[in-house]
Every structure is written in structure tokens, then in C-alpha cells.
Amino acid sequence: MAKVNSGQKILHFPLTKIIVGLIVCIGTVKIGQVLVQEILEFTSFDQDLKRLIGGVFTAMLAILSYCFLFKFYEKRKITEFSTNNLVKNIAIGIILGALLQSLTILVIYLKGGYTILSINPILFILPALTMAFTSAIFEETLLRGIIFRIPEEKLGSYVALLISAFLFGALHLFNPNSSLVDAIGLAIQAGLLLGAAYIYSRNLWFPIALHFAWNFTQSGIFGANVSGTTLSKTLITSKIEGAAWFTGGEFGPEGSIQATLFCLIPTIILLVLSHREGKIVKPYWKKKSKALTLVLQ
């Protein structure tokens, strides 16, 4: 019996759950990508459309693999992908993400650093749509659904938020045209904001929509680089020039100081609201302390 208990403890240890979750979700997506690419090669679709179909398919695989795994692994209902308030969460996320990115670009424009060179056909948004859709779902499922949610159960909301934000920034350090300053900026702005969005909504659709709108508006609409990556087709072909501190340089506008400042405002608001509404999870040592106090009383 002792061996069974030890095995169960190891199986349900937070780090074990994180590793298993990452392996299953990433593995499923990678296999799905290969399969769908092979199937799409037999079609006569345009390459941009093929990438969009493939992206939607693999994004759905990420959600399905997550839901099936943790439904049986943790023996619970997967509320983080609940359709309750789905429209509300997606709408607010899209509006907030687009607004924050637009304000970031506006600062560059007001300082004379943003110029529109041409407005292209509407279908030019497809590459950006694919990138924004797939990265938002895949990254939020892994970063907020696994790397934030599981540690939060033991370490509490604030510690888990710092860990997930740090990892979010560190992962982007390896992107093209990235630097330590860019990674730190992303950790502060997106890492904290997306985590705060999950804490407040207790639903992954809110941070997914926010993440999607931020990336899509930045690249698909304004034609800027996203995390160091340049897309060949965008709705607006633009020229961005000026000091890196307000343009983000080759990394993109999210590397600018105003992007960090603009994102900190809703982050603080969401955390304050979460605290007031009792949505902040306390770390296990505070729970134990409170329980001991109640026993002594």
C-alpha cells in the first residue's frame, strides 16, 4: 500500500503534472502538424490557406489534448475551457488586445516613426491570422493552462504569476532580433497581463483572445514585426523607424517602453479586481497557517 501511495504522490506532484502535460500537448500538436501537412499537400489550396487550415487544426488539437489529459489525470471538469461567458471573454479580450496595440503604435506615429506605405488586399491578413490564432491558443494552453495553473494550486497566484511571466519572457529570448531587454519587457507586459487575465476570468478564452488580438493587430493590421518575426504579407505595408525604446526596433513594437506601460495598467486593474472578488489563490503555507489558527481557536 505504501508503494501505491508513493507512486500516486509522484504522479500528482506539480512538477510531474507539468512535464506530463507539456509532453502530451506538444507531442500531440507536433504529430498533428505532420499529418495535416501531408494531407494538405494533396489539395490545390493556396499556401496561405493551407497554413491557416493547418494552424486551426493543430490549435484545436492543443485544446483537445489538454482537456482529455487533465479530465482523466486530475479527475475534474475542465472549467478553464468552459463556454460559460464565452462571447464576453472573447469580446473583451479582443477589444483590450487591439486597443493596447493601437495605443502602442499611436505613440510611434505621434513621434513621427510610423509611416503607411501601402494598403494591401484583404487576403493579405491570412498569414498574420494564422500566426496569431495558433500562437495564442498554443502558448496560452501551455503557459497559462499548465505552467501557471498547476503551480498556482500550491504556490498561490502571485508566485505562479511571476514564474510563468519569467518563463514567457525567457522563451522569447531565443526569437529573431531579440535581446535581454526585449525578453524582460515581454515578461512584464504580456507575461503578467495574460496571467492576470486568467486569474480574473478563471477561463483561458480571455487570455487567448487578448493574446490573439495583440499579435494580429500588430502584424496583420499595422504591418509591424511580432517578437522579432517579419511577415511577408500584411494589410498595411508600413515603415517603422526611430529609437528602439519607443519603436521596439527589429523586435517589434512590443519591445517598446510604452507597450510595457500600457499593459501594466490593465494588469494592475485585473489583479485588484481579482483580490476584491476573492479570486487570488493563497500559497499552501498560508492555508496551513490559517487552518492551524482555526484549530487553536
Residue 181: other Cβ atoms inside 10 A: 15
Residues of the chain with pLDDT under 70: 1-4, 287-297
Distance separating alpha carbons of residues 278 and 160, to the nearest angstrom: 17
Q: At what angle do helices 192-201 and 205-216 cross, to 10 degrees?
A: 140
Q: Cell match 487552518: residue?
A: 291
**Number of residues assigned to the chain:** 297
What pLDDT does 8 receive? 83
Alpha helices for 234-256 (secondary structure H): 244-247
Kindly state the helix (H) or strand (E) to which residue 239 belongs, with its residue range: strand 236-240
Residue 136 to residue 197: CA distance in whole angstroms: 13
> What three-state secondary structure class fits 117?
strand
pLDDT for 174 equals 87
With H, G, I as helix, E, B as strand and everything else as coil, classify residue 175. Answer: coil
Which pLDDT does position 289 carry in this prediction? 61
Predicted local confidence at residue 288, as pLDDT: 63
- Kindly report the pTM of this predicted structure: 0.93
Task: Find out whether 182 and 151 touch, Cβ atoms under 8 Å.
Answer: no
pLDDT at 206: 98
